[in-house]
Each structure stands twice: as C-alpha cells, then as structure tokens.
Amino acid sequence: MGKGFDIGLEALAAGSATARETPANAGSGARGTFFLETFGCQMNDHDSEKVAGVLLARGYRQVQSPEAASVILYNTCSIREKAAQKVFSRLGEFRAQPNEGRMIGVLGCLAQQEGEDIFERAPWVGLVCGSASYSKLPELLAQWEAGQRRVTGLETDTEETFETEMTRRDNPWRAYLTIIEGCDKACSYCVVPYTRGPERSRSSAAVLAEARQLADLGYTEIQLLGQTVNSYRDPSPRGMRFAELLLAAAEVPGIRRVRFTTSHPRDFTPDIVQAIEAQPAVCEHVHLPVQSGSTRVLRAMQRTYTREEYLEKIALLRSARRAISVTTDFIVGFPGETEEDFQETLSLLEAAQFDGAFSFKYSPRPNTPAQTMADAIPEEEKSRRLAMLLEKQREIQTARNAALVGQRFEVLVEGKSRRQNQWAGRTSSNRMVNFTSPVAGLLGQYVQVQVSSAGPNSLAGEAVQE
Ligand code: SAH
Ligand code: SF4
Ligand code: F3S
C-alpha cells in the first residue's frame, strides 16, 4: 500500500510536532479527551492528523488508551475484508460496556461503506462519518456535545476538500500534504471511489501555502498525497499540472525533499520524470501500482492500460538520468485469473525489476463490479500464487539492493534502532538504511551514508564523516 520499505524502527520520536502546532486555546477549559486509532493507508493516517487537529482546536486532549477517553474514534479501512473485520472486532470490545457519556465514533472508509448499518450492528456507536464529510466534523461534534446521540456525515457529493485550521502531525520531519482527494477511476475490485467520493483537487495556491507553512514549522520533507496523486488538476485559473506543482513545492525554501504517492499508470506522463530529473529535491521514487501483468486481467479490472503500456512507463523511468526506484502493488487471484495470466504477472515482475512491491490476495468487496464476477479463485490457490510472487520479488530486491553496496546515499534520519549508535533513515529512493555513527543527536538530520551490506528490505552502512 505504498507505506515504503518497512523495518521496525524503535521510535519515531512521535508527538514532538504537537507542541509546535498546539494552538493557544488547546488545553484551556478542556471539554474532554479523545483516543484515535487509525487503520488503512497514508491518506487515512493523514486524515487522522487532521481530525486530531479539529478535536484539539475544540479543546479536547489526546490520550493513548480508549479507557481514558471520552471520545473514542476509529478511522477505518475497508479495502479488503480483513481490514473491515479488524474494525468490527474493535467495536465488539465495547459490547459489554455501558457508554456513560462516552462517544464511540467510526470514521473513514468502512463508515462510508456501511453507513447507518453500523448503528444496527454496534448500537453503542454515536458517530458515523466518511472522509468526504470531514469538513462537517466540527459541526457534527457540536451536535454530539449538544446532546444528539447519533450523528452522521455520509454525503460524498461534495466539492469540498478537508482543510483544517491546524493539523496535528505525527512525524516531526516528514509531513503529509493532501493535494487531491477521492478517486474518479473505476477499478472493478475497489471500494475507494465509493468510500472517498469523487476526485477533488485543492488549488495550487492552497497546496503551496501549506508547503511554506510546513517549512516554517521546521519540516524538511513533504509527501504529496492522493489516491491518484498524478491525476491532480489545479482547479484555480493558474491551472498547474501535477509535474509543475511538484517543482513548485520542491522550490519552497527549507523543503529538501518532496515525495508523492500514489501514481496511477494511466496519468503517469513524461513531464513527471522530467521534474524528477530536473530538481534534486523531488525524490527519486515512484509508487506505480500495476496490479497484474496480464492485459486480459487488467481489462477485467478496468485499469485502463495494457501490460505493454505499463512496461513503456517503466522503460521511461529506467531511462531517466537519476536512478529512480519503482515500487508497485499486485493483486493475485482476481476472478478468472488463469495460471497463464499469473505467469504473465511473474514475467512482468522479472521485466520491471521493482524495488519493492505490496502484494495482496484478491478480496471481494461490497458493491464493486468484481464482487459478482464468475470464476472465483480458491483461497488456497490465491495463497500459492501470493507466496510465489513474494518469493520472486524477494530475490529481485535482494539482487537490486546488493548492487548498491559501496555507494553513498543521503539519508534523512528518522529513528534510532536498538543497538547503540545505530540509526535508521530513508534515502531519496525511499530505501531504509540502518547505519552507525559516532555522532549523537542525528534525528531529523541529513547524513551521508556509505552502504556496506544489503538485505531484501533495507541497506546497512556507516555515516561518512564530512
Ligand atoms: N489508488 C491506488 C491504490 C489504492 S488501494 C491505485 O490505484 O493504485 C491500495 C492497493 O490495495 C491497491 O493498489 C490494490 O493492490 C489493493 N487492493 C485494492 N482493492 C483490493 C481488493 N478488493 N482486494 C485485494 N487488494 C485490493
Ligand atoms: Fe481504487 Fe483504482 Fe481508484 Fe486506485 S485508482 S483508488 S485502485 S479505484
Ligand atoms: Fe485507504 Fe483503506 Fe480507504 S486503503 S482509501 S483507508 S479503504
């Protein structure tokens, strides 16, 4: 799902941004406390940062356990059946507990998908609100505070985007920045167009103003977000293209890195590669989900590109003047996927040489066209195909990372790992690097690291003394 190359960081020094961004009125005359747990993708992570900002601005204080909270919120995901089950099991934990003035709220994609049915299934829930209605959150909270016991925000036909007075960001160095919400594609397996509503781009002026604000707050890396981030269309008369916005964000003084996710292959144009080539602050990483290597399956998925068209985009990326890393997503076991189709996925893996991949077994989702498609693939067969894909991709990543041994990379230090003087950070290409350094206090710094060894998911090395 594009969260990057994961390794267990001991601590992300979370929360230090809170103090920086706490408004003057927070804490005074606190109305209560809230607990917020987030499931799903980076867009949900960032929505939660905005929701937390809305609550803090209303005088609520964030706590780390549901027991200590008067408002308990789950920001949910419904991309696959398992994600939805996890949320219902969380909600089930409150079955035997009286509410006593406490509010349990369900936000996000499952809230939008299930709507008021959630009240039937879990009558102790007081708020159900999908992401396309978050701009109404302050109003909904006010209704609840005024005594209304069931409040909902379920409209998706809004033109609005969710912008907040303040956002309580979790990571003190890398800041998420929404540029486009919703999705106008119609992939036949996917709930997102229903759960997040239609595509809505923010004006380039609003995006760049937020980027400048983030730089003023001390962030040096920003990550532009959208389900189809490169489908961005500036609604203002300025009419900036996505690649132009990338360049403009990278030129904001103080911003050293700009990332973006997730790109849709159909809208992935050469000017994006040119922007990466032209501006070192634009990170050399593209997450470009392919889903399948078979044109027949891609057509059934309504992905709007063929295997060959996708491979052309890969060729474009691989011929760039910078060593752009490319990561992807796969779905195995889509209805009707034959062994031959699956072999085409494996051969695409070989041809594309991805630097990372997130692979999933197809999960039928409510109200999607694929849900009722014939020729479902048995679970065991999906598992077999997934295991094969993971194994092959692991080999590819091992070889690709091994080729980086001996090279030097600039790393933004984001964590300290268990061993003393072991630090962890990311390269511009979004690779995790563990490294040693005799220097203390490296969190949030940019450090040159010489790579001395590599595994499939991360690199290791030593800081270079300058
Ligand atoms: N907007 C992004 C992806 C969003 S969802 C894009 O278009 O690529 C993240 C990933 O979840 C998808 O890329 C896909 O691989 C996976 N996914 C989405 N729906 C799924 C389903 N019904 N079953 C299994 N995986 C799914
Ligand atoms: Fe889902 Fe397709 Fe939209 Fe991605 S582009 S969010 S997979 S519908
Ligand atoms: Fe994200 Fe899950 Fe919704 S992946 S867009 S939170 S369904």
Taking the CA of 288 as reference, the closest ligand is 1
DSSP state of 218: T
Distance 370 CA to ligand 1 centre (A): 13
State whether the Cα torsion 354-360-361-364 is positive or negative: negative
Which residue has the least CA distance to atom 1 on ligand 1?
A: 227
Q: Please check whether the domain covering 408-463 is classified as CATH 1.10.287.
A: no
Question: Which ligand neighbours the alpha carbon of 328 most closely?
Answer: 1
Q: Whose CA is nearest to atom 19 of ligand 1?
A: 190
Q: What is the pLDDT of residue 18?
A: 34
Task: For domain 18-153, give its CATH number from 3.40.50.2300, 3.40.50.300, 3.40.50.280, 3.30.930.10.
Answer: 3.40.50.280
CATH 3.80.30.20 positions along the chain are: 174-402
CATH H-level superfamily of 174-402: tm_1862 like domain (3.80.30.20)
pTM value? 0.93
Q: What is the pLDDT of residue 9?
A: 33
State the closest ligand 2 atom to the C-alpha of 303, by its place in the atom list counted from 1.
2
For ligand 3, say whether the CB of 110 is within 6 Å of any of its atoms.
Answer: no
Q: By the 8 A CB rule, do 174 and 223 touch? A: yes
Per-residue pLDDT at 418? 75
Residue 466 tokens read as 């300058």
Looking at ligand 1, which atom is closest to the CA of residue 187?
A: 7
Residue in this structure with the two tokens 């929701």, named with its chain if needed: 51
- Which residues make up the CATH 2.40.50 domain(s) of the chain? 408-463
Question: HEC profile for 418-451?
Answer: CCCCEEEEEECCCCEEEEECCCCCCCCCEEEEEE
Residues of the chain with CATH 3.40.50.280: 18-153
User: Does ligand 1 lie within 6 Å of residue 303's CB atom?
Assistant: no
As averages over each run of 10 residues, the pLDDT of the chain (466 residues) reads 35 33 36 93 97 94 94 97 95 83 94 96 95 92 91 91 91 96 97 96 97 97 98 97 98 98 98 98 98 98 98 98 98 98 98 98 97 96 98 98 98 87 95 94 96 98 90
Give residue 398's pLDDT: 98
Identify which ligand lies nearest to the alpha carbon of 331: 1
User: Which of 79, 183, 287, 297, when mutated, tests ligand 2's pocket best, judged by the most ligand atoms within 8 Å of its CB?
Assistant: 183
Task: Please give the structure tokens belonging to residue 171.
Answer: 């990571």
pLDDT at position 31, please? 65
Q: Which ligand is nearest to the CA of 360?
A: 1
- Determine which helix (DSSP H) or strand (DSSP E) holds 340, and give its type and residue range: helix 339-352
Buried b (16+ CB within 10 A) or exposed e, 236-252: eeeebbbbbbbbbbbeb
Instruction: Pick the atom of ligand 3 nearest to 191's CA.
Output: 7
Ligand 3 centroid to residue 366 C-alpha, Å? 14
């189709």: which residue's tokens?
Answer: 341
